[in-house]
Structures are given as C-alpha cells and as structure tokens.
Structure 1
C-alpha cells in the first residue's frame, strides 16, 4: 500500500537512511527534527511497505525571513519547509505537489515558497512546471539556496503553471464517465468511503497530476484545451444508479488526440503509459486493434469533499442526458454541483 499520511515527527525514525542527504545539506537538520518532535509537529509521509519514500513538512508563516533577498513583504505564506522524494519513476513528486496546493487552498493562503539548493534540478524543474518561479536567494551557514515562489492567483493563462486553479470563462463543461474499477486507481484523492486504500498502489497513473483517459466515445472529440471535465464514476452495482453513480472530481483538458496521431506503437506507449491505468500489453492491443481510438490528456485539479449523486443531478440540477458517458453541463449547473460537492470556490475563477 502506498498512501500519503499525516504523521507526527516523534513517530518517524530520524535514523532512517532516507534522511542522510538532508543531514548532509543542513547541519542543523537533526536538532531541528528533534525540536519538531518535542513540539508535536507533523509531516506528510509515504511508505512503500515499511520503506520511507517521501517526506513533506509545511509551515504557515507570517513573519519575515531576513536571510531571503530580496526581502519578502509581510504576508501570510505557506512555506515548504522540507520536501524530499526518493524518485523512482512513479510521478510521486506530482502527488506531493498536489498535496502542497491542497493545503494552501484549505488554509486560504495564496502564496507558497520553498528554499532549495540549485543541485536539486529535478525537483526545481517539477516545481517550475506547476508555476513556481525564481524569486531570489537565501544564504545561511549551509550555503546559498534558491527561493522559489508561487502565487496561486497570479495567473499566466497556462493550464500547468496556473494549476490547481480552474478557469471557466469561455470554456465548455462536460461530464465524463469512468467505470468504478478504474476510477480510484486514476483519481487517488477521490477515493470513496467504501473503497480500500490498498488499491492505491505506488504507480505513475495514481501519483500523477496529469491523467490519460482512453475511450471509444465519439463525443470526446468536442473537447478543447482548457475545457472543464466533471469526473462521473458510474454505478458500482451495489445499489441504484441514482445513489451509486457520483461526480467526484474536476479535471481540465490538456489535449485530445486520436490513435492515428501516433505514427508508431512506441510513440503511443511513450505518451500514454506514464499516466494511464492500462498495462503495456493492453496499450499495445489498443494501438493494434484501434478499439479505443480517442486519448484525452487532462490535469486532476479538484477532488470533491462530498460526492454528488446521479439523483441530485437529475432532481436538483436538471441534468437529464440521453447518454451519461459524455454529457454537457451549463455554467449555472456547474456552480450548483461544485457547491453541493463542497469544493473551495476560491480556486474556480470565471
């Protein structure tokens, strides 16, 4: 099982080899860690079996760090205090970046920063992909670090750099159905109450912000970059659809391709495999048979706090499509759905 958890410092083994590189970078790391343990602070961790694979400590700050140049103005910020991933090709970093944004939104903080040594280029590149930019430097006895900063609402009109913000102006909104056996494997934060976290394996498609959806539904050809998708998990067979089919998440379309856009099978695999729930053998079969010719690449932006049922959509929001595979949603219906789903409306900008 690989699931992010909130864990007290005092319950984390400081002697774990995972922390060796942090001790090398920061001479005071061990004493800092011990202090946090005494203060009953917690961090986000992820274990693969019993092996620590990821550690993230976040701190809300409103004081000024005098070591940062140029000097920050006084403002509440979320500091990424310590962030380390044992990279092993499963997009785990993306999953933790999403966690950083989730906390910022929940705490109503619009500015996030991290100090990081220049040698950590893969992590710097990941953070810049999702909208962090170089603000300045911080110099301590450990050396000079870069300061990367992101303001959630300083929008760049770029799906990734603006992530997780969802912009609805001049965008179409659709419901997109997904079968229960695929749903939580693809949308890890949208797990339903009756599902086990054991199905969340530490694999690329579970961890990633990007998602690949492969299907044969002709209507997805109407999707355009920036369009909004409401992920609709279909009936799991444990009751009537009006209670068991639910909207769980919001995604944003990056692009829609057809299988004929890939000149070779290997190019198709390279594009789909990191973000798709299907195995290499299944993907090869799809390419050869052309059975599922449409490929949607999208970002996973929001997990609903409360699932919105098929019955609510019909009775309360007037959504009654002939076909629930792909269906249109008006902007007014969308506003009502996200309110019912208890989505933080600050990240929805129209």
Structure 2
C-alpha cells in the first residue's frame, strides 16, 4: 500500500502541535506496517520554483526523507481541468496531478489537510481515496491494530455534569474569551441537555442542545420548532468519526421529535466539520458579528418523493434520516452472522428495550458504513433499501431478527485485496487480516457502501416476518422482497418518523 502525502502537511502545518504529533505517529506506523510514503515529483517541482532560496532549501531538506513518485503519466491541462476543476494557479495544477495519481492507483491514498483538495476530490468522486492525517492514522489502527479500536456510546447528561475546564474546550475558550465562561455558566444554570462520548474517564466529544424560539434563533428557514446545537470533539480523537456519530444522534433526535430546523454556528477554520455538515444537507445561510457562519438543516416530515433528476441516494443524503422508499427502488434482506453484526452495528448490542424506547437515549454510531460478502445477487443497486437480518445465535435477543435499515450508496466487485482496502478504508470496521481472508480468486467480493438509517426497536423476529409474508424462511443470502411484502413490513419498523 502507498500513501501520497501533500507537502503542505510537512511544510505549512509543521507548527500545529496536534497535527505534527499525529503526522509523526502516522509515519512511524506506516513504517511498522509496510506502508510506503511518497511525495509527488510535481510538488518538488513546485517548491523548486520558489523565489526565496533559503526557504526553498529548507523545504526540500524536510522532504528528502520521502521517496518521490516519479514519471506518472499526466493528462493535458485541459483534461486535468475537465476532471478535477479549475486550475488557474501552478499549485492548483499540482493538486490536480496529486488527485490524478490516486485516480490511476499510482498511490492508494492521498493524505492532506487542505480543505480545497478534499472538496476537489469530492467533485471528482475521489473522496474515499483522500484522507486527513487523523483519518489515515485511524485507518492504520483499525486495519493492523484492531485491539485499539475505540467503539464509544453516546450518553445523555445535563450540562452541570460536564467539567468545562476539560481540555476539550480549550480552543473554544481561546476563540471566545470571557464570553465562553459566561455561556457555559448559563448552560449549567439552565440545566441544558447534552450528549457526551467518553473513552474511559476521558471526555471525547460533547453536544450541547437547546430548544429555541423563532424570535431568538438566527435562522432563515421556516418553522417554529427549532433545535440549536453546539458541538465539541477532542483533538485527541481526530479521525474517530465522532463528529459523524454525534451528527447521527442529532438527526435521530430531531426527526423523532418533529423539529422543523436544526442549526449551529461554526468558524471558517472548522473545515472538516463544515464538509460533514454540507454532506448531510446543512446549508450556510448567514454570518454573525463574531465571524461565525450559520448552518441550517430543514427537517422534513412525511413521505419523501424524488424531484426531477434527483436520485434516491442523493435524496437520502440531503434529507437524512428520511429516505425515498417508493417503487423506483428495490428492497432487500441481507443476512449477517452475529460476530460480524456485532462489529458492524456495535451500538445494537448496547440497546436494551427499556433504554431504546426512552427519548434521546439511543446510542449512536457512524452514518456511512460498508458491508462485504460473496453474494451473487447482481440486482442490488444504489438507492435500494436494505434490511440487515442477524442470523441464529442462541440466547441473543436479536437471533434471527431484522435489526437495522440502510440505503445503498454503491455496489462494487473485486478479487483484489488492494481494491478492497481502497474502497473500504474510510468506512470499514474490519481488520486487514479479515479483509484479506475474504478475498479469493474463485468468487468476487461484493462491497456495499450504505448509509445507516436506523435500528428497528424492537427487532423483528423471523416468525413475525414469516407470518406477515415478508419472507418465506430464514434468509440465506441477499434476498429481494416484493413491493407488497415491503408494504406489510413498513408499519412494523418503528423508526420514530413518517416515511
């Protein structure tokens, strides 16, 4: 496996203590696990054009320890522009060449902290191959050191249960000065509701939420029931997908409780958070006097239809957790063994029925996931609705039951382990040894990217599915269910919102 690093990580971000420490850790783990690290020759050429000789020599000395990726075939400038967007400056040409090297698999992943490069990668459908330093570090730990995986749960507390002197709040206290302590004092006094994620005794992430009246909310979208949120994720847990985990918790809560609008404010430097917000339907609608941007998401109600030219998966991302389930998409039941179910949906194992039915108490997990199998079903496609069915496990309350619902984002097939690594790196909960064990020459591996919509509470057991005519027997492979069968299944799902 090969990492291509953006030289900005080494040069421009060397004074950022957290990223510098993570990058050193990344390089060490790459060496331990046989991951080759390269810089692109176009980056070196760009540095050689720098007019300041002293700075040029200093920069090149930092990069000499990395191997150069040389001789990569490159399209014309017009072709680069067509594939990767406008390239008005020399450094934009370098960015396009870095992405092109990844697109043809001269490197498996590009590692960069440059928000523009991440956005350019998304437009070129290469987002899954471009990672931050923290993303790459988390992938290495997940793939090669699975015992270190952090599988947290979201817990609901009041603001007075939180220590606001915790290091997680240092950056915000620095940004807002005395106002921050005044605001947290108000949160404590008003007993505001919060979600927290802890790793042992360490505070990893926090969401503070507040119901606001229309008159006090700094929003433009219509509606009277408004939820304002403030999010904090510790720098020590960069790459652990806690932002996505908390976002899912927020969406579930807002949808189940019929909010019209969810909004928050964010500073321009919070580029990763802003990219994530935009991915799931938040729009920037204004700027505040302190420089914060306002980001809003309208929470729709009722059945979701597709507008002209809109796909089911585009609608699902924009309206998450609502989704299109009309006749234009198929529905499938996917059997999954208990051991893999526990890894893919660890939060389901935390669910006790009495907890799950309590408002706001459902543990969250990431939205974007991947499922791999050897199914020969070639009908399943993007936008289809999938129901995960845990196979038999004596003593498990979820044995032979439908537990979870997702929407297919993408389906691909391969016999190559390197392709599986590339496709699953930003979503997988499986170790590299597990991925390798599933790849064989006789049967292509099916890789299904999906959005986790929610969990069925309580799970739907096989006898109920059979008596209602949803399935004829215990599913042994990916099984399509008819539209009529789905309509009988739908009232049993209890997702907490109409769809």
Q: Could you tell me the TM-score, scaled by structure 1's length? A: 0.84
Unaligned regions of 5+ residues in structure 1, if any?
A: 196-205
Structure-2 change in CA distance of 1:192 and 1:49 (3 Å): closer
Contact 2:265 2:295 in 1 (8 A): yes
Moved more, 35-44 or 146-155: 146-155
> Which residue in 2 is equivalent to 1:279?
431
2:358 corresponds to: none
**Correspondence 1:93 to 2:93:** no
Q: Structure 1: how far apart are the matches of 2:472 and 2:201? A: 48
Residue 201 of structure 1 is matched in structure 2 by none
Task: Output one character per residue of 1:111-135: Cα deviation in whole Å (capped at 9) or x when no partner.
Answer: 2111111111110001111111111
Matched with 1:5 is 155
Which one of 316, 319, 322 corresponds to residue 162 of structure 1?
Answer: 319
Superposition pairs of residues 96-111 of structure 1, within 5 angstroms? 96-111=246-261
Question: Residue 229 of structure 1: SS of its match in structure 2?
Answer: strand
Instruction: Choose which of 8, 14, 36 in structure 1 pairs with 2:164.
Output: 14
Determine the structure 2 residue equivalent to 1:23. 173
Q: Secondary structure at the match of 1:31?
A: helix
Instruction: Please state whether the residue corresponding to 2:278 is helix, strand or coil.
Output: helix
1:193 is displaced (CA, Å) by 4.7
Judging changes above 3 Å, is the alpha-carbon distance between structure 1 residues 81 and 318 closer, same or farther for their aligned structure 2 residues? closer
Q: Aligned to 1:40, what secondary structure does the other structure show?
A: coil
Unaligned runs of 5+ in 2: 1-150, 354-363
The CA deviation at 1:147 is 0.9
Please give the alpha-carbon distance, in whole angstroms, between the structure 2 residues aligned to 1:193 and 1:109.
Answer: 24
Tell me, yes or no, if structure 1 residue 47 matches structure 2 residue 198.
yes
Q: Work out which of the two has the higher radius of gyration on C-alpha atoms and give 1 or 2.
A: 2
How far apart are 1:233 and its partner, in Å? Answer: 1.1
Aligned to 2:266: 116
After superposition, give the CA deviation of every residue in 1:262-316 in whole Å (9 maximum; x if it has no partner).
Answer: 6xx4343122133223211222343455666111111101211221110100113
SS of the aligned residue for 1:144 comes to coil
Residue 255 of structure 2 aligns to a residue whose secondary structure is helix
Structure 1: how far apart are the matches of 2:348 and 2:489?
16
More helix by share: 2
Q: What do you get for the CA RMSD once the two structures are aligned?
A: 2.7
In terms of mean alpha carbon deviation, does 17-26 or 268-277 score higher? 268-277
Q: Structure 1 residues 149, 188: closer, same or farther in 2, change over 3 A?
A: farther
> In the TM superposition, what are the counterparts of 1:231-310 in structure 2 within 5 Å?
231-238=388-395, 244-260=399-415, 265-287=417-439, 289=441, 293-310=445-462
Q: Determine if the alignment matches structure 1 residue 177 to structure 2 residue 332.
A: no
User: Who is 2:107 aligned against?
Assistant: none
Q: How many residues are matched? A: 327
Q: Distance in 2 between matches of 1:92 and 1:271?
A: 21
